[in-house]
Structure 1
Amino acid sequence: MTSSAALADGPAPDASAWATDDPASRIRRWTEGYAPRPGLADEMVDARGELRGGWPRFLERLARLDDREVAARFLSAERHIRDAGISYRVYGDGREHPWPLGSLPLVIDAADWAELSAGIVQRAGLMERIVADIYGPGRLVAEGFLPAGVVAGSPEYLRPVHGIAPPGGRWLPIYAADVGRGPDGCWRVLADRTQAPSGLGYALENRMVLARAFPDLFADLHVERLPGFFQAFRAGLAASCARSDPRICLLTSGPYSSTYVEQAALARYLGFLLVEGDDLVVRDGLLHVRTVAGLKRADAVWRRIDADYLDPMELRSDSRLGVPGMLQALRRGGAVVGNMPGSGVLESAALSPYLPAIARALTGEELRLAGPDTWWCGDPDGLRHVLAHLDRLTLRPAATPVRGPERDAMLAGPALDAARARALAALRERPFDWVAQEPAPLSTMPAWQDGRLAPRPFVMRVFAAATPEGWRVLPSAFCRVAEHDGADPSEMRAGIRSADVWVLSDTPIDAPPLLLSTAPRIRRIAGHLPSRAADNLFWFGRYLERAEAVIRLVQAHLGGFSGALAADASGEEGGPTALAIRALLKEWGSVEAADLSPAALAQEALSGKMRYGSALAHVMEARRIAASLRERLPMESWRALADLRDTLVYAEAWAPTEAQLFGKAERALGHLAALAGLAHENMGHGTAWRFADMGRRVERAINTCRFAVDFCDREASAEDLGVMLSLADSQIAYGSRYLTGVSRDAVCDMAVLDPGNPRSVAYQVQAIVAHLEVLPALAADGLPETHRRRALALAGTLQTADAAETEGEALEHIETELEGLADRIASRYFPNGPDALRPEKLTGLA
């Protein structure tokens, strides 16, 4: 949603339309002029213009809300999308885009959905049997039901997979189909999705957003719930595993995947471990996860990367997304993978002409859900038909369709001479790479535009999961709707929105059972933390603390340290204290030059987009890292990060005053405090929280040491010491303890050595030691490891140090030791770096 006034699909109606009309008048006004396109089916009205299905119930209930209330509901949904950070990436575009959720759901009644579901279940079972035959006995090819060229000619057919029996017995734990209605009003399958179907997480997010915006409609209309499907899907994967309490992973290509946000949402919702290829390793034919506690057995992997990237040893050798030895692990039954590599061969459009006969041969039934009439050009009869009717057919690749801009240049209905010449050349050169289809215009559904409903083309992706009780269809779908008639909603990109799908039951929906029939084994751990996640959490904390250090320096420079403790400070812009602050900001890369005016320097240090050391740059790095930690951080963290970013980006004026900039710094510190509070109060105090907290502690201690070197040396002035207390956020504590003014040794003791001050260096080191005591050890001899010995030694140094002797070289030595401690923690727990202790060297696998 992008409009702040009303529905995202269009601007709000005029205020005159917000009169106190009755519900019937609102429905007439909303539907005035709504008519299906000639020759196309529409979801809301039939050929006579009468409301159909569940739409009368939906519109009657929606019309009880006046236009202002409707607009407010849509605006609340838009805010939730922004606060939750729901986004996506367009193929080929690295930027994140806010999730474009349309305003209205697609409404389908229970009887219509039951008919569609039956067809999806039949098709899912058929696809499972076809792929098992393709990579197994090959009877369909041998008996003439399927041309060998359709299989062997597909780039998705993976020869190394042939002969592998899928561990757990399933090729397709999840199946999806893109569907729409034909002109006759019957559902049709536009494409099968068996490689790594996306959209399930976005369907879940859509539901959460709209159910939150319209809880009354959702309950009154008896909308089918989703949790039962996800529970059954998880149970199906778990039942395929050998162990009774399996560890299930969701394999992603990383935060730059176009669908990473939905993958993280699914991992959080299902309780799966979100992993990348580097997090996994094959040992002795079994799959393991690299964790901070060593290698831990991975029983199942839900694959969300293309199959040819899965194993660089036997498939694409240039892949950096997969796991070396993965196919060998599959041969030995070392892990369940869904969907199995090679299942993408079922997405080939060249399979479509042969499905009806295969369905009759394998199931004894007619295919319930047909697709567009299709001819494979590798078949001589099919090629002759295509050449004879090329002007009225759509030519498309036989394998997985091309994506992005190249797809827009696809040969479709080649009426122009140039297009016809290209089509003929392509067919002469490699006819088996192409299929031709009868044009299948998309059916339409209502979308909100300018305060009224308008028909728009849509495609709906329906999901089925293999469960212990058989195939189960999600009672909703991932729906994509075009904003304009000419747009193609086959993938998410500019001009395409998503929509929730509401299946309306005739009777009230039972709430999911709260009590489990079999009580799980009680545990108090959240699971093992992958090394990559620990690395990201550690740096998430460090970047936030770096941002805070820059902001506090800016506040100090703008005069925030002035007060009772430094009442006699000159505060001159060119004084030695101000020059020291400017020099430190330049050293940190927060500003380019140290001779700027106070306002210009503060603006650049806070919000400089081109400065790698500005507070904004550190926040954006923390936000980038947080994108890869969506399943581990509290959901409110994303909103706090967005507020922090917006505060730093927002310009109060073209030339903000020092007072405005000081206020901006104060607001930013408030958001940082909120983030720290969320981490402490809303994250379970397990391994993930410990690494995030250690990152903050390490960075805060290093920064405080640097501040002490610059502002707390033996020659420090009262102004210097006031800055030091301000940077260590210890003015109030100091004032309550010492009533006689500032003293260098007292300030140094409070900021550096006092273990009772939560902002001191000593306090940070004690907290780090406490975290390391709890984290798992590699060795079984009981001796402290190198990083723990270093932390204990540093804690001992700070406990026995004297403030009068802690200056200059002593402070620099503590700072160096802290940096060394951070490196030692990274070498022990994180997966990167030449000196990292790789967990695959460890024993004691579990």
Structure 2
Amino acid sequence: MPSSAVVHPQDSDDLLTGYRTVEGIYDELVAPGGESRAYWRPFIDGMRALPADEVAQHPETALRLIRQHGVTYNVYGDPKGEQRPWELDVMPLLIPEPEWAVLERGLKQRARLLNAVLADLYGPQNLICDGVLPAALVYANPHFHLPCHGIVPPYETFLQIYAADLARSPDGRWWVFNDRTQAPSGAGYALENRVITAQCLSDLFREGRVRRLAHFFQALRENLRALSGRDDPRIVLLTPGPLNETYFEHAFLARYLGYPLVEGADLTVRDNRVYLKTVGGLQPVDVILRRVDTEWCDPLELRPDSALGIAGLVEAARAGHVVIANALGSGLVECTALMGFLPGLCRHLLGEDLVLPHIATWWCGQEDAREHVIANLDDLVVARTFQTPTLVTADAGQVLGSELTDEQRAGLIERIRQRGYDYVGQEAITLSTAPAWDGGHLVARPMALRMYATALGDDYVVMPGGLTRISSSNSTRAVSMQRGSGSKDTWVLSSAPVGSFSLLRQEDTSPMLRRAGDDLPSRAADNMYWLGRYAERTESAMRLLRSLLTRLAEDPVQDSTANVAMQKLLYMLAHPGDVDGLMRRRGRTLSATQIEQRVQAYLFDPSEPNGIPQLVRTVNRVASLTRDRLSLDAWRTLDQLHQDVLRQRPRVWLDIGEASAILNDMLRTMSAFAGLGMENTTRTQGWRFLDMGRRLERASTMAGLLRGLLSVGDPEGYGFLDRLLELADSFMTYRARYVSTPRLVPVLDLLLIDESNPRSVAFQLDALEQHAARLPRFDDALDRSPEQRQILSCQAAIRLADVRALARTDAKGRRTELDTLLARVGGAIGDLSETIGRHYFSHADLGRHTEAASLRRFFEP
């Protein structure tokens, strides 16, 4: 803190011990006299009443919940990428009721004002004709999109969602320093902050009479439904994709609001109507809640190089066949220079004075304003007029006049005089501070508040709270998530008891009943399918490694028979199928040390292509693409496995006991995920494709194991029959049926032909046949679909096989009939996968590829 920091000494066990504020800067908790503000005292007293160890655990509890919920925020350039956990400080920001009433009234007014400005600029443009607003601020603005002119949304509401960034001045007044009208982000993070903070501070939350957030989201849902003009509309949330910094929020809101999460490739325009590409065909879309900036929304009329948008979307909106929220082109009024004209615009359009002031702003395109900026440069921040706003406030592209050298100052003044319309000057703001946890103590951190409003009828509903952001440093100039800042929950206090309203309450109108349908987007089906495949592939690799560890523990690999057996099992990890051919081509035998080294690499080396770390990372990656389709428990299970693997480090030597324990824990986690899929997942098409992927991968893996271990030689002598039963988790079944050591014929029957064994190839084909019969058809033909024919052909080959004939060897010790059958089965499974992809995934757009498809090409053996 600066040298003017003021320390407020308290009792040794007081929360405020050593709490430092800065003279001349407003602090949310402590008044200038050193006492906590009146509306904070009940909360502080409640915190003091809690046991010290409980208070100390709150940050850890919050971090644990964030990881469980999978809350992430992608900081560009951060090595953690989209796996970077969201940063939440559990100390909330408190806002008293009288103060909130002013903020609420001001935000509603500001939303109505900016909506009216948009309605005029994309309509009659009277503001320009009457000289109220300079034409240069509109036509030179890159966010003014001429193709959107004349497109009038229902009720002339351009801003369905509006957000404003606010800060306090030193005298305690709130000031707006940014308007967010393009596709305001953060409301989902505010809701997640509330969920976590309310869990950490449950008693204080209940006793604090904190206003709930659910009303806001209910209003948002009702507004979007009303825009469609239908009782049961199809509403989708359009996201740029998983690489976007706020993708978690997109998935979270889609799940919370009950809307499909789609990317541009999931939508198409036919006859000026927008359709969702689903596994059951094209489904009409009524409303798009967009999180893609306008210029990226349509490559035909807006930005030709966009791969995020939908060709023809602007024409569909122009024809009135789809409603887009916020309206295309709404980013126009985010222009900082517009702030200087808002007081006059408010009086002109609404006949009112602005309730909420904003930072003093001067657009240098006007002579008086230009001269004022030049004369007062040391006290102002100068920025480009049409710089693209970042997600949160940041000083990127801005310069503080007082920090310029003489040469820089002269250069800037010259540029302002020559091209004044390119520059805007603003008062340099100083953020207030709020209490935050740091190492078990409260410290004052600079903060800013983002508030949200959603249209409803002819007015707006304001979220009673918001997203409070705190700086990770002591700088009082900027708060930026992209620079590592954190967040906190915002509690709006009420003088009256607060009801327990829930978004899930019974509505007045009964919705149309639905059960499992065909409205699963093709991209989501693709991702669910490959999630099933990768999850099964990972589990199979874990089982094979566990079998290797068991063999290493039992047999030190000293004789050639044990060595060949171990080497075969090892090769099965990366090359299931013709392992004997691979071993002949390589022509060398691994030593016991080399085998242990390879096992260790598969277990702990993150660079091993077919190792556990790579496989788990792939599962987590694909699962992140289906966040809106997975239950919270299913996501937590996979994310916990991913976190466990990330904590593992390469070992110098292999500890078989430790490695076995780690693998057993991982297998329990994978079994938990599989169990959640079978017992807790509604039998929608999403579940069907997930299970099809699992079944197809299991059939392929088992066929490869049987072919690789049984087609040549003496499997009983090498102990392969025991290993196969172990890998298939079928030892108990075998022993219950046959009171003998494993024999080839009954093992083959159990793992290949027996349709009652959940691990057999036949069982998987039977499950796939049932799934294929329930997949959507694109024609009215009564005959079987191509995928059904492929499955039935494979089933017939296995059902008609003579298991005793399969077990016979020729003169060279080869089981040719078995090898031929299993090679055919493996090929048929590969063909079936291609058929499913071609019929249900590829039609989304052959020119684009999902992340899962990219991973598939890389990892497919």
Both structures adopt the same fold (TM-score exceeding 0.5): yes
Cα deviation for residue 425 of structure 1 reads 4.9
| Secondary structure, counterpart of 1:337 in structure 2 | strand
The yes-or-no answer on 1:442 pairing with 2:431 is: yes
| Secondary structure, counterpart of 2:822 in structure 1 | helix
Residue 620 of structure 2 is matched in structure 1 by 623
| Secondary structure, counterpart of 2:435 in structure 1 | strand
Instruction: Identify which of 592, 604, 608 aligns with 1:607.
Output: 604
Instruction: Identify which of 486, 491, 511 aligns with 1:497.
Output: 486
Query: Cα deviation per residue 1:111-155 (whole Å; 9 max; x = unaligned)?
Result: 111110100000000011000101000011111111011111111
Residue 717 of structure 1 is matched in structure 2 by 715
**Aligned residue runs from structure 1 range 85-124, under 5 A:** 85-93=70-78, 94-124=81-111
The question of whether the paired residues in 1 share the 8 Å contact of 2:445 and 2:474 is answered with yes
Aligned equivalents of 2:39 and 2:723: distance in 1?
67
Greater CA drift, 420-429 or 443-452: 420-429
| Secondary structure, counterpart of 1:685 in structure 2 | coil
The question of whether the paired residues in 1 share the 8 Å contact of 2:112 and 2:459 is answered with no
AA at the equivalent of 2:55: V
Cα deviation for residue 83 of structure 1 reads 1.4
Aligned equivalents of 1:526 and 1:430: distance in 2?
58
Cα deviation for residue 238 of structure 1 reads 0.6
AA at the equivalent of 1:622: V
The yes-or-no answer on 1:181 pairing with 2:178 is: no
Cα deviation for residue 636 of structure 1 reads 1.8
Aligned equivalents of 2:506 and 2:338: distance in 1?
45
Residue 804 of structure 2 is matched in structure 1 by 804
The yes-or-no answer on 1:480 pairing with 2:507 is: no
Aligned equivalents of 1:67 and 1:543: distance in 2?
45
Residue 744 of structure 1 is matched in structure 2 by 744
Residue 678 of structure 1 is matched in structure 2 by 676
Residue 50 of structure 1 is matched in structure 2 by 35
Instruction: Identify which of 53, 58, 66 aligns with 1:81.
Output: 66
Residue 704 of structure 1 is matched in structure 2 by 702
Greater CA drift, 814-823 or 639-648: 639-648
Query: Cα deviation per residue 1:215-236 (whole Å; 9 max; x = unaligned)?
Result: 1111111111111110111100
Residue 757 of structure 1 is matched in structure 2 by 757
| Secondary structure, counterpart of 1:447 in structure 2 | strand
| Cα gap change, 1:562 to 1:96, in 2 (>3 Å) | closer
Cα deviation for residue 342 of structure 1 reads 0.8
| Cα gap change, 1:49 to 1:308, in 2 (>3 Å) | same
| Cα gap change, 1:26 to 1:734, in 2 (>3 Å) | farther
Aligned equivalents of 1:373 and 1:521: distance in 2?
51
Aligned equivalents of 2:459 and 2:398: distance in 1?
39
Cα deviation for residue 640 of structure 1 reads 1.7
AA at the equivalent of 1:518: T
Aligned equivalents of 1:172 and 1:745: distance in 2?
71
The question of whether the paired residues in 2 share the 8 Å contact of 1:652 and 1:660 is answered with no
Cα deviation for residue 490 of structure 1 reads 3.5
The question of whether the paired residues in 1 share the 8 Å contact of 2:528 and 2:690 is answered with yes
> Any stretches of 5+ residues in structure 2 without a counterpart?
1-8, 807-817, 850-861
AA at the equivalent of 2:67: R
Greater CA drift, 755-764 or 720-729: 720-729
| Cα gap change, 1:620 to 1:321, in 2 (>3 Å) | same
Query: Cα deviation per residue 1:409-466 (whole Å; 9 max; x = unaligned)?
Result: 6322243324424523542553222210111111111112343322211111100000
The question of whether the paired residues in 2 share the 8 Å contact of 1:167 and 1:337 is answered with no
Q: Structure 1 vs Structure 2: percent identity of aligned residues?
A: 37
Residue 500 of structure 2 is matched in structure 1 by 511
With normalisation by structure 1, the TM-score equals 0.91
Residue 783 of structure 1 is matched in structure 2 by 783
| Secondary structure, counterpart of 1:559 in structure 2 | helix
Aligned equivalents of 1:573 and 1:213: distance in 2?
59
Cα deviation for residue 652 of structure 1 reads 8.9
Greater CA drift, 504-513 or 266-275: 504-513
Instruction: Identify which of 4, 10, 23 aligns with 1:38.
Output: 23
Residue 257 of structure 1 is matched in structure 2 by 244
> Any stretches of 5+ residues in structure 1 without a counterpart?
1-23, 839-846
The yes-or-no answer on 1:459 pairing with 2:444 is: no
Greater CA drift, 332-341 or 490-499: 490-499
| Cα gap change, 1:588 to 1:409, in 2 (>3 Å) | farther
Aligned equivalents of 2:752 and 2:642: distance in 1?
30
| Cα gap change, 1:434 to 1:663, in 2 (>3 Å) | same
Greater CA drift, 123-132 or 390-399: 390-399
Aligned equivalents of 1:27 and 1:233: distance in 2?
47
Greater CA drift, 720-729 or 515-524: 515-524
The yes-or-no answer on 1:821 pairing with 2:832 is: yes
Aligned equivalents of 2:173 and 2:191: distance in 1?
26
Instruction: Identify which of 407, 410, 421 aligns with 2:398.
Output: 410
Query: Cα deviation per residue 1:559-578 (whole Å; 9 max; x = unaligned)?
Result: 35999xxx999986853211
The question of whether the paired residues in 2 share the 8 Å contact of 1:179 and 1:460 is answered with yes
Greater CA drift, 697-706 or 35-44: 35-44
Aligned equivalents of 2:279 and 2:272: distance in 1?
22
Residue 726 of structure 1 is matched in structure 2 by 726
| Cα gap change, 1:100 to 1:736, in 2 (>3 Å) | same
Residue 812 of structure 2 is matched in structure 1 by none
The question of whether the paired residues in 2 share the 8 Å contact of 1:542 and 1:695 is answered with yes
Cα deviation for residue 801 of structure 1 reads 2.3
Greater CA drift, 526-535 or 403-412: 403-412
Aligned equivalents of 1:691 and 1:508: distance in 2?
47
RMSD: 2.7
Query: Cα deviation per residue 1:228-250 (whole Å; 9 max; x = unaligned)?
Result: 11011110011000322001111
Aligned equivalents of 1:570 and 1:752: distance in 2?
32
Instruction: Identify which of 535, 548, 554 aligns with 2:539.
Output: 548
| Secondary structure, counterpart of 1:575 in structure 2 | helix
Pairs aligned (count): 812
| Cα gap change, 1:26 to 1:265, in 2 (>3 Å) | farther
Aligned equivalents of 1:182 and 1:416: distance in 2?
24
The yes-or-no answer on 1:135 pairing with 2:122 is: yes
Greater CA drift, 440-449 or 589-598: 589-598
Aligned equivalents of 1:448 and 1:320: distance in 2?
42
**Aligned residue runs from structure 1 range 362-373, under 5 A:** 362-373=349-360
Greater CA drift, 123-132 or 461-470: 461-470
